[in-house]
């Protein structure tokens, strides 16, 4: 694998492109012409929800994944804010891909975690959190809630049965509310790779639990996302996808995020595989990193344009 330096990153982006004040890069097409349901995570663009929707709309993106809004997690939004979000979605004609929750981004009682993380919500309040998320999903017109698998421990095999039990309980509550849970392979949690995600889904009996396949997170654990990671998953259990670029030094060292059209991931290959496998669900771009010499809005727009270039390439072959 080839690491991309900060200087090479800027060269690749093109000095002329930056000098033109973010003129659109050649090769990207409007998302409205895509065969995919494309969008982005809201606060990766802006915590001002309407600003995020306007930028999505300007690129023809028709879907949004709602996480932080106006400085708070969406599950803590007030009734007035919930109504305002619904109004803005209608005004800008944007659909909701998923409601992000911090479900099970906490320590499983009795375990010793190996990551430097604090519980976003305590274990005892996880089901109340899920209920709030369901209320918001109903209001905003989606049946997908993103969740996790507790902060990572050294010996996951020893507690895997407990995690499965907790997942089954959450899945039953979600089922009663007409919701699907999409579990992300997140490096800070016990399921961080495709291999771990596939194993979890194989053990779960609940039919309303599927994958939020993050194409890239496995690199931090030495897993090539595509084709290796994807080959381990059942395409029919993938109900939401996250995309980004990942650049690592040799041997999966010092991995970091970059633009979707840069880095090591064969993202075009991944998208073609999804088309081959009949994928009909949603895809969200992650644009959380800061590029040197660029404002957050510039980074966001460059991220979207790079992503759409990859989509156009995948759909043209």
Please give the angle made by the CA atoms of 206, 212 and 216, to the nearest 5 degrees: 145
Which pLDDT score, from 0 to 100, does residue 27 have? 59
145 within domain boundaries? yes
- The verdict on residue 19 lying in a domain is no
How many domains are contained in the chain?
1
25 domain-assigned: no
Buried b / exposed e along 49-85 (16+ C-beta atoms within 10 A): bbebbbbbbebebbbbbbbbbbeebbbebeeebbebb
pLDDT in tens, the chain (317 residues): 333 443 444 444 443 333 333 334 445 667 767 899 999 999 999 999 999 999 999 999 999 999 999 999 999 999 999 999 999 999 999 999 999 999 999 999 999 999 999 999 999 999 999 999 999 999 999 999 999 999 999 999 999 999 999 999 999 999 999 999 999 999 999 999 999 999 999 999 999 999 999 999 999 999 999 999 999 999 999 999 999 999 999 999 999 999 999 999 999 999 999 999 999 999 999 988 888 899 999 999 999 999 999 999 999 97
CA distance 265 to 142: 29
Residue 27 placed within a domain: no
The answer to the question of residue 26 being in a domain is no
CATH number of the structural domain spanning residue 50? 3.20.20.150
Give the Cα separation of 130 and 248 in Å (integer): 35
Domain around 42:
6-14+34-79+89-127+137-193+206-316
Is 200 inside a domain boundary?
Answer: no
Has residue 243 been placed in a domain?
yes
φ, ψ for residue 33 (rounded to 5)? -90, -5
- Residue 115 falls within a domain, yes or no? yes
Beta strands 209-215 and 180-184 are: parallel
């Amino acid at each position: 694998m080839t690491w991309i330096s900060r200087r090479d990153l800027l060269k690749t982006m093109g000095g002329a492109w930056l000098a033109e004040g973010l003129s659109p890069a050649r090769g990207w097409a409007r998302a409205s012409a895509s065969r995919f349901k494309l969008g982005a995570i809201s606060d990766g663009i802006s915590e001002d929800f309407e600003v995020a929707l306007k930028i999505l709309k300007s690129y023809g993106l028709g879907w949004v994944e709602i996480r932080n809004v106006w400085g708070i997690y969406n599950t803590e939004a007030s009734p007035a804010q919930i109504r305002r979000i619904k109004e803005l979605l209608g005004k800008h004609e944007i659909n909701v891909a998923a409601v992000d929750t911090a479900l099970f981004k906490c320590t499983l009682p009795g375990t010793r975690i190996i990551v430097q993380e604090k519980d976003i919500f305590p274990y005892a309040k996880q089901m109340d959190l899920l209920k709030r998320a369901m209320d918001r999903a109903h209001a905003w017109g989606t049946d997908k809630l993103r969740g996790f698998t507790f902060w990572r421990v050294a010996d996951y095999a020893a507690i895997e049965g407990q995690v499965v039990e907790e997942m089954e309980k959450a899945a039953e509550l979600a089922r009663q509310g007409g919701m699907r849970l999409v579990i992300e392979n997140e490096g800070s949690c016990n399921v961080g790779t495709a291999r771990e995600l596939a194993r979890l889904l194989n053990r779960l009996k609940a039919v309303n639990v599927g994958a939020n396949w993050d194409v890239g997170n496995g690199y931090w654990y030495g897993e090539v996302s595509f084709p290796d990671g994807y080959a381990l998953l059942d395409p029919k259990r993938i109900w939401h996808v996250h995309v980004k670029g990942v650049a690592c030094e040799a041997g999966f060292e010092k991995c970091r995020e970059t633009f979707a059209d840069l880095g090591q991931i064969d993202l075009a290959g991944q998208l073609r595989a999804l088309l081959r496998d009949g994928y009909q669900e949603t895809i969200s771009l992650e644009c959380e990193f800061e590029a040197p010499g660029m404002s957050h809005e510039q980074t966001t727009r460059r991220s979207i344009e790079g992503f759409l270039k990859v989509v156009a390439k995948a759909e043209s072959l």
